[in-house]
Structure 1
Amino acid sequence: MTDTISARLDNLITPLHRWRGLGGVGKYALYTRVSLQLIPVSVALGYLVAVINAVPTMDIAPWRMVVGSGYILLLLAFAIGVFELHPDLNTRERRPVGPVFRLGLIFTLLGFAGSLALQHPAFQPVERQAAAIVSVLSLFVLCFVYVPWLRYRWIIIIGLTATAGFLMGATIPDSYWWWIMPPLMTVTVRMSIWTVNVMKEVERSRELEASLRVTEERLRFAQELHDTLGQHLAAMSLKSELALALAKRGDDRLEGELRDLQKLTRVSMSQMREVVQGYRSINLATEVEGAKSLLNDARITLRIHGAVDQVPAPQRELAAWLVREATTNVLRHSDATHVDLDLSASEVRMTNDGVTTAMGRLSGLDALRQRAQAAGVSLRVACEGGQFTVRLIPEGDAV
C-alpha cells in the first residue's frame, strides 16, 4: 500500500523533477497547467486567511466555519484535479478527466446554489455575508475551471452571473465586479488552452515533416530503381517467354535469345549496383550541411565544433552515416532544442538534449554499428541526464 502511494506521488511530481527532460511543448503545457492551478489556490488561501482573521469578530457558529472551510478545500482539490488531468493541458496520456470533472462540477453547483439560498433575508446579516463570499468563490471556480470546456459557455456565464447578481444584490448592494469576473476568467482559460493546442499542432507538424522527408527519400530511391530497372525487367520477361516458346518448337533462334537475355541480366545488375552505390555513397560535408538545414527547419539549433577536414579520410564516410542517422533519430524520436556535433581526429560525436523517455532499439544505429566494426571503429551510444550521445571512436582510442 505504501509503495503504491509513493509511486502515485512520484508520478504526480515527476514532471517537476524532470523539467530539463521535457520537450518545448511539454514544458509550456506544464507551466500553463501549474499557473492555472495556482490561481484558485491563491484565491482559496486568501479566503481561508480572511476567515481565520475574522473569526474573533464574527458571530458565526464554529461548525459553520468548519463546513465552509472544508467546502473551499474540496473546491480547490477538484479544481487542481481537473487542470492536472485534462488532455488539453497535457502532452502525455493521463487518467480520464471525465469522472473528476463531472463530480467537481456537481459539487460546485450544489455549493453555489446552497450559498445563494443562505442569503435569504431570514438569516442573520453576518451569515448572509459569509454565504455571499462562498457564492463569489463558487462562481469564480465554475467560470474558471468548468465553464471553459462546456458547450454554450457564454450563455451559461450570462445565466450564472445574472443569477448571482440578482440574489446577492441585497447582501452586497454596492459590488458589481462579479459581472466582469466570470467572462474574464473564462477568456483567460480559453486563451491558455488555445495556445497549448497551437504548440501541439506545431510539434505534430514538425514530426510530420521529418517523417515526410524520410518517406520522400525512400520514394526517390524506389523511383530510381523503377526508372533504371523497370524497362529491362519487362524486356527480360518477354525474352524469357520467347525463349520458352522457341525451346518448345526447337527453333534455332533460341541461343540468340538466351544470349540477349543474359546480356540484359548483366546490364540490369550493373545498373542496380550503380543506383545502390550512388545511394550509399555520401559525403560528410554534404551531410553536415543537410543536417543543419533539416534541424533548422525543425527549430533545433545545431552547434558544430571542429571541421570536416579534421576527421581522418578513411572514417569520413562512416561519420557521414552517423550524422545522417543521428539527425533522423533527433527528428523522429526526441524533443530536442539543441544538438552538438563534434568533429575531430579522435572521435565524431553527436549529442542532443531531447530525451524524454527511455530510448528503444534504433535499427539504423545497429546497422551503423556493424559497418563500424567492419572498419575497425567503435560506435558508442549513451543516454544520461536527458542527453543522448552517439560517438564514433577508432578502436585504438576507445575507452
Structure 2
Amino acid sequence: MIGLARVTRASKLDRIRWMVVYSSDIMNALAFLGFIQLALEWETNRLPVAAVVAAGAVIVVFYGLSTRPYRIATRGGARPTVLLALTGALALGFAALTMIWLLPVWLGLVSPFLSRRVFWPLAAGITAVAGVYMGFAAGLPAVVVLLVLTAFVTGATVANMWIWRIALEAHEGQEAKARLAVSEERLRFARDLNDLLGQSLTDIAAKAGRAETTLAADAELASAEMFEVRDLARGALREVRTAVQNYRALDLGEVLASVRAVLEAADVQCTIEGDGGDLPAEARTLLAAVVREGATNVLKHSAAQRCTITIRNGVLEMSNDGISPDAGEPGGLRGLAQRLSAAGGSLSAGAADGLYLLRAAV
C-alpha cells in the first residue's frame, strides 16, 4: 500500500453545521450595537466612563456566552439551562436600561431548545412587555427597533435550525437506506440458501433415519441408503458453492452504472472512461468489487466533489479529490488486495498529486 496523506476534510454535514453556527454568531453580533448607544450616552455625559467600560465588558461577555447554545443544539446536547438563564438575566438588565440590543439575541438563543408551541408565545409575550416599557421609556422609535430586531433574529435562528434538522434527517436517511440495502441483500441470500438446502437436508435426514432402522435387519440395504445420503450431501454442497459463486459474481457494467448514480446523488461528479468489456469474467468481477469498495470509501471517508474511474488494458484507476486520513485502511481494501494478489493482480491506494488514487491491475 502507498502511504496515505494525513489530510482531513470536512464532511458535507459538518459544513452545514458550521454554516448554521457561524451565521448565528453573525446575527448575535447585533449585541455590539449596544456600544453605539453606550458611546452616545457617554458623549452626552449621561453615563460616567466607568459605567460605560463596565457595560461594554458585559456586552462582550454576553456575546461570548451566546456562541455556545447553537453549538450545543447542533450536536444534540442537553439544554444549557444555567447558560440560558445567565444570558437572559443580562439581556433583561440591559433592556431595563433601555438598551434593547441583547433581548432579541437572547430569544434566538432559547429557540433551539423550546417547541414552537412554547417558544412563539414566549417570544410574543416578552416582546410585548418590553415594547410597552420601551414605549414609555424611550418612545416609539425604540419600539419599532425592538420589533424589527426580534423578528429578524428569531426568524433567522428558527430558519437556521430548521435547515440543520432537514440536513440531519437527510444524512440519517442515507445511512438508513444503506443499512436497509445490506439487510435486504442478506435476507435474499438467506432465502436462496434455505431454498437450496431445505429439501436436500430433509431428504438426507429421512434416508439416514431409514438406514438406521434397517441397519440391524439388512446391512446391505442400510449401506445403499447411506450411499444415497452421501450423494445427496455432495449434490447440496455443489449447489451451495454455485450459489455462493454466483452471489459473489458482479457485473462490471451494472456496478459502474450504479456507482455513478450513487455518487452523483451525493453531489460527487463522476466520470467513467472504459468498461473493461474485453476482460475475462473473473477479471471483470474483481474490478467490479474494487469499484464498489472504492465508491463506498469515497462516500464514507472523504469529502470528494469529483471522482474519475478509468479502465484500460486490465488496469483500473479510481481517483477523487477528497483525500482522507483513513480512506485506505478499511478491511475491505485489504481483503480485495489479497483477492487480486491470489489471482495474479495487484492493488494500491494512497495520495498522488493532490488526489486519492485507488489502482487495481488484473
1:22-37 equivalences under 5 Å are: 22-37=10-25
Structure 1 unaligned residues grouped into runs of 5+: 1-17, 118-130, 395-399
CA contact 1:210–1:332 (8 Å) conserved in 2:
no
- Give matches, 1:296-315, under 5 Å: 296-309=264-277, 315=283
Partner of residue 270 from structure 1, selected from 215, 224, 238: 238
Q: Deviations over 1:125-176 (max 9, x none)?
A: xxxxxx212xx11212221212442351122112211221222222211222
Instruction: Find the counterpart in structure 1 of residue 53 from structure 2.
Output: 66
Aligned partners of 1:138, 1:282: CA distance in 2, in Å?
Answer: 62
Match in the other structure for 1:213: 181
Following superposition, the deviation at residue 70 of structure 1 comes to 1.1
1:87 aligns with 2:73: yes
CA contact (8 A) 1:207 1:332 kept: no
Q: CA deviation at 1:73?
A: 0.6
SS in 2 for 1:339: strand
Q: Is 1:199 the equivalent of 2:167?
A: yes
Q: CA separation in 2, counterparts of 1:223 and 1:334?
A: 35
The 2-side partners of 1:189 and 1:386 are apart by: 38
**Counterpart of 1:155 in 2: which secondary structure?**
helix
Does 102-111 or 196-205 show the bigger shift?
Answer: 102-111
CA distance in 2, matches of 1:386, 1:102: 46
Q: CA deviation at 1:232?
A: 0.4
Q: For residue 219 of structure 1, report the CA deviation from its aligned partner.
A: 2.0
Q: How far is the alpha carbon of 1:332 from its aligned partner?
A: 5.0
Structure 2 equivalent of residue 162 of structure 1: 128
Tell me which of 80, 95, 98 is aligned to 1:132.
98
1:371 aligns with 2:339: yes
Aligned partner (choices 308, 312, 318) of residue 344 of structure 1: 312
Q: CA RMSD in A?
A: 3.0
- Aligned sequence identity (%): 25
How far apart, CA to CA, are the structure 2 residues paired with 1:67 and 1:322?
A: 64
TM-aligned CA distance change 1:286 to 1:196, over 3 Å: same
Structure 2 partner of 1:125: none
CA distance 1:328–1:216, change in 2 (3 Å): farther
Are 2:32 and 1:45 aligned?
A: yes
Q: Normalized against structure 1, the TM-score is what?
A: 0.78
For residues 312 and 267 of structure 1, the distance between their equivalents in structure 2, rounded to whole angstroms, comes to: 28
Q: What is the CA–CA distance in structure 2 between the aligned matches of 1:74 and 1:349, rounded to whole Å?
A: 54
Provide closer, same or farther for how the CA distance between residues 150 and 68 of structure 1 changes in structure 2, counting only shifts above 3 A: same
SS in structure 1 opposite 2:313? Answer: coil
CA spacing shift, 1:346–1:383, aligned 2, 3 Å: same
The aligned counterpart of 1:109 is 88
Equivalent AA in structure 1 for residue 137 of structure 2: T
Residue number in structure 2 paired with 1:8: none
- Whole-angstrom CA distance in 2 between matches of 1:207 and 1:355: 21
Q: How many residues align?
A: 352
Q: Which runs of 5+ in 2 are unaligned?
A: 1-6
Secondary structure, counterpart of 1:169 in structure 2: helix
2:155 and 2:325 map into 1 onto residues whose CA distance is 34
Q: Which position in structure 2 is the counterpart of 1:5?
A: none
Contact 2:9 2:302 in 1 (8 A): no
